[in-house]
Amino acid sequence: MISSYEGDLIRPLGLVTLYAAYAEGEIDELLSALPSETPFDASKREWPVGRKLRHALKLVRKLKSDQLAGLTSALKEAQTLFSKRNSFVHSQIFTGGRVVFNRPNVN
């Protein structure tokens, strides 16, 4: 199965994008469940995923619970993964797997 993707970044990138959408839906659910001074309403659902993750981390840290250390770690890892996803989604992909990032300071 892996050999079917050899040299092809388009299909795997499509899968990453698809699953990232599902992950963002889960982030929305988390933000709806976390206690906050203001509700996670429709306008906040329009935020970019990076802003949602920063907001979720802020809310989790406010709870000051050692039991949520795993959630804090998962949210930080999600920030890294979404950043990598964004780098590829906003890049030019050429034959042979060469990637040229469109944004400055991205490698």
The residues spanned by each domain of the chain are 2-101
Measured distance CA(22)–CA(17) in Å, rounded: 9
Give the span between the Cα atoms of 80 and 38, in whole angstroms: 26
pLDDT higher than 80, residue 24? yes
Q: Which residues contact 10 (CB under 8 A, 6 or more apart)?
A: 93
User: What pLDDT does residue 92 have?
Assistant: 82
CA–CA gap between residue 11 and residue 9 (Å, rounded): 6
Q: What is the pTM of this model?
A: 0.81
How far apart, in Å, are the Cα atoms of 4 and each of 36, 47, 68, 79? 46, 36, 40, 29
pLDDT tens column, 40-93: 999 999 999 999 999 999 999 999 999 999 999 999 999 999 998 988 888 887
Predicted local distance difference test score (pLDDT) of residue 86:
87
Number of CB atoms found within 10 A of residue 56's CB: 23
